[in-house]
Chain A
Amino acid sequence: MTTTPEVVAAPARRHLTTRGRRWRPDRAGAPIVLALVLIGGTLVFGDSFASAQNFGNIALDSSYLLLIATGMTLVILSGGIDLSVGSLLALAGVLTAYGARWGSIAAVVLPLLVCAAFGLANGLLIARARIAPFIVTLAALLFARGLAFAVADEGNTVYIIPADLTLTRLGQARWLGLHAPVWLALLAFAVGVVILNRTRFGQAVFAVGDNQEAAELMGLPVARVRLLVYVASAVLAGVAGVLVAAQTQSGLPTIGEGRELEAIAAVVIGGTLLSGGAGSLSGTLAGVLLLKVIQNLINQVGTLTAYYQQVVSGTFLIVVVLIQSRLARRRLR
């Protein structure tokens, strides 16, 4: 055995040629489209679109979705899916209003605890009992919705949150022109980014979604990771629910329908692979904004076309995902 020869990983034939760029076209898609849409909207609608007030509304609308989508991003990155977040939002709202009679603390702690419990149940059934995430969270969707109705006496009772409660005042506060939910959503987003990109847990989330068996063999705590993402998702949905209740000062069990699908759409549009393993929170942010801006633009056109909003949203989702998968397929080759 003489000198160990150098194995250079560059020999062209042994490798898939990539241009080695760090810029990923499939992920840059959403921000670019967002920028285009913003520019286009301003050009067409002028002040009614590009005003501080309108942007403030868009931001407020987006904040609840951002909270949910942040949790959804973690879940999807780990290879799972969470259909229960819409129902959890409603449940949290009802519980907030219900718990308001005991003060602000109770009004916040009660819904978050219950949501965490749901997240834990989801996580256990998925990670330990190994039942498909789609089914488990579907069942949770039904159960949570049922519970929300049960607490609200089948919708007959609407609990009101008094206006002088700290919760209400904080929830409806505005700082630097932005509503409280926006700040909270941005905070959750920032924390999420740090956790996902700068902690071992975050790296593990990616790995588990990429190749679960390998992650297991590499010694990662796969079951724990899979469980925790569902807890996170549920708690974030709970936070969103608390905020909605604070804003509307009431707890309605009927809200949140379809929010989970909206969140999934935002995550996918943002470039996260539905199969997991690759994606980013910043992409999700772009996806959330994109969805909300488009909804806003359609509303600018007039009331008759409210139904067209849905048509456009649905088609938009399909087109974006199509383009993305085309780009992604070309890269992975």
Chain B
Amino acid sequence: MLDTLRRRRDRADVLRFLQVGGVYVATALILAFNLFFTPNFATLANLRLQLVQVAPVAIVAIGMALVIATEGIDLSVGSTMAISAALLPLYIGYGVWPAIAVALVAGVAVGAVNGSLVAFAGMQPIIATLGVLVAGRGLALVFANGRLTELFDPTLDALGNESVLGVPISVLLVVTVAAIAGVVVRRAAFGRQLVAVGGNRAAANLAGLPVKRTLVAVYVVSGVLAAAAGVLSTARQGASDPSFVGLLIELSAITAVVVGGTPLSGGRVRILGTLTGALLMQLITATVIQQNLPDSTARMIQAAIIVAAVYVQRGRSRA
């Protein structure tokens, strides 16, 4: 019997390692693969390209991770990106910073709507944010009249394409957001509250935590980050394209969060894991392209990884 116990414990250890570190292992593997088999992979230019391409998803994914930690979900992030992208050309006449400010405020507004529906109306997050997803994309198209608008602003262009000390500004932005998020989750009261609300909402309520306020706040954060991602995306493209910007990004974000080790059932956040998850998905797509594999393969591989990631995770909750 001791033997079975020992084997069980060893298996539990491996499982735990995979749950926490699985995403890092997978990322390391794919990097190694590319280093050997993909020409021109290890060039600075390529690395920079990968990071810049993943930046918007990474930012959105961080917001999504916080929402998922409260046992919620935010399907509207793509539409928020579209709204923010649509507003930029409308306000750029006042200057680039005021325009960005307006875009971010729009993110706050969308987040506030989501948060209120979830916290005060008691709606389930999937339905509330679904409604906002549909309505939001429409709103963005209304603002932009369905058109793509080119933007010629040097600051905006710099934001999207320039670097500081060799590091692209968009990447710096991601790192900053991640750092702030990490600190908040670890050291700030808000971070504890959010994880408590996701872990057991009833218990958090009875412990006197400001549950409703926390929920609204977390959706606002997700909204702002999505808006920022929209700005970034537009800046890089040099054009505001509300029909396509952020399309299906909620799927990528959710995937990054889940693969990165944050459980859908709430109660814990892994910021670093989320970033790595986003990077992993990006690398898969890049590898597929560079290996001349059909694009559809990337999707199928991503699907398999998601299942593997959650399969490994579920062992924990059943312990």
**A contacts B directly (C-beta below 8 A):** yes
Task: Determine the main DSSP class of B at the interface with A.
Answer: helix
What residues of chain B lie closer than 8 Å to A274, measured between beta carbons?
124, 126-127
Number of chain A interface residues as a range: 35 or more
Would you give the 0/1 interface string for A122-160, flagging 1 where the beta carbon is closer than 8 Å to chain B?
000100011110111011111101111110011000000
Cross-chain contact A321 with B264 (CB below 8 angstroms): no
Cross-chain contact A308 with B296 (CB below 8 angstroms): no
From known contacts A142-B251, A154-B294, infer whether A307 and B123 are also in contact, taking CB-CB under 8 Å.
no
Expressed in whole angstroms, the Cα–Cα distance for A104 and B34 within the complex equals: 45
Determine which of A146, A307, A318 lies in contact with B132 in the assembled complex, contact meaning CB atoms within 8 Å. A318
Expressed in whole angstroms, the Cα–Cα distance for A308 and B141 within the complex equals: 8
Cross-chain contact B294 with A317 (CB below 8 angstroms): no
Determine which of B135, B141, B264, B299 lies in contact with A135 in the assembled complex, contact meaning CB atoms within 8 Å. B264
CB distance from A306 to the nearest CB of B (A): 8
What residues of chain B lie closer than 8 Å to A325, measured between beta carbons?
121-123
Contacts between the two chains (Cβ within 8 Å), count:
139
Expressed in whole angstroms, the Cα–Cα distance for A139 and B306 within the complex equals: 6
Cross-chain contact A149 with B123 (CB below 8 angstroms): no
Q: Which residues of B in the span 149-180 have a Cβ within 8 Å of any Cβ on A?
A: none
Interface presence of A109 (CB below 8 A): no
Cross-chain contact B294 with A142 (CB below 8 angstroms): no
CB distance from A149 to the nearest CB of B (A): 4
Which residues on B are within 8 Å of A, measured CB to CB?
73, 75, 117, 121-124, 126-128, 130-139, 141-142, 146, 251, 254-255, 258, 264-265, 294-300, 302-304, 306-307, 310-311, 314, 318
Cross-chain contact B258 with A314 (CB below 8 angstroms): no
Determine which of A136, A142, A268 lies in contact with B300 in the assembled complex, contact meaning CB atoms within 8 Å. A142
Shortest Cβ distance from B243 into A: residue: A307
Cross-chain contact B134 with A139 (CB below 8 angstroms): no
What residues of chain B lie closer than 8 Å to A129, measured between beta carbons?
311, 314
Interface presence of A261 (CB below 8 A): yes
Task: Determine the main DSSP class of A at the interface with B.
Answer: helix
CB distance from A141 to the nearest CB of B (A): 8
Cross-chain contact A313 with B310 (CB below 8 angstroms): no
A sample of 20 inter-chain contacts (CB < 8 A) reads: A129-B314, A132-B264, A138-B254, A143-B304, A146-B297, A146-B303, A147-B296, A149-B295, A150-B297, A154-B296, A307-B141, A307-B142, A310-B138, A311-B138, A313-B135, A315-B135, A318-B123, A321-B127, A321-B128, A325-B122
What residues of chain B lie closer than 8 Å to A315, measured between beta carbons?
131, 135
Interface presence of A30 (CB below 8 A): no
Expressed in whole angstroms, the Cα–Cα distance for A238 and B131 within the complex equals: 26
What residues of chain A lie closer than 8 Å to B126, measured between beta carbons?
81, 134, 264, 274
What residues of chain A lie closer than 8 Å to B307, measured between beta carbons?
125, 131, 135-136, 139
Cross-chain contact A314 with B314 (CB below 8 angstroms): no
Shortest Cβ distance from B135 into A: residue: A314
Interface presence of A309 (CB below 8 A): yes
Shortest Cβ distance from B317 into A: residue: A130
Shortest Cβ distance from B138 into A: residue: A310
Determine which of A132, A139, A314 lies in contact with B133 in the assembled complex, contact meaning CB atoms within 8 Å. A314
Determine which of A139, A146, A147, A308 lies in contact with B142 in the assembled complex, contact meaning CB atoms within 8 Å. A308
What residues of chain B lie closer than 8 Å to A195, measured between beta carbons?
none
